[in-house]
Amino acid sequence: MGRAVVGVIAGYLAIGALVAFTDMLFARLVPGWKQMAQPPMYYFAVTLGMDFLYSILGGYVCAMIATTHRRGATLGLIVLGSAIGVVAQALLWKTVPHWFGIGLLLLYPLAVWIGSRLGSERPVPAT
């Protein structure tokens, strides 16, 4: 059970670190980023795609650490991330495009599940 908790925390931290890294890249690579009142629309599109990939990686990390408790840990990561996502979107509803917030909430559970499946043990076919 301890591995499941550690897997959830590690998966969530991996996603968060990668999301923060992407935001830092935008701030360094896009001229005038800090002076913009609102990020450009391409930022939200790129971020949505990257967050999907990062959530796959987070699901994979979670499942690999949780080993035999991967299903429960995956569910825990989905519930934790979705709950935090709902609160974040409620707070940011007037500042980010609605399609972005809704897209994150819909794609996150799917991505975590995909990532956890990448790490699942499958029997090797006989040759």
69 lies in a domain? yes
Q: What is the pLDDT of residue 121?
A: 61
For residue range 82-123, list pLDDT tens digits in order. 999 999 999 999 989 999 999 999 999 999 999 999 866 655
90 lies in a domain? yes
81 lies in a domain? yes
Q: If you average pLDDT over residues 20-30, what whole number do you get?
A: 88
35 lies in a domain? yes
98 lies in a domain? yes
3-state secondary structure labels for all residues of the chain = CHHHHHHHHHHHHHHHHHHHHHHHHHHHHCCCHHHCCCCCHHHHHHHHHHHHHHHHHHHHHHHHHHHHHHHHHHHHHHHHHHHHHHHHHHHHCCCCCHHHHHHHHHHHHHHHHHHHHHCCCCCCCCC
Q: Which domain holds residue 9?
A: 2-118
User: pTM of the full predicted structure?
Assistant: 0.89
Q: How many domains does the chain have?
A: 1
125 lies in a domain? no
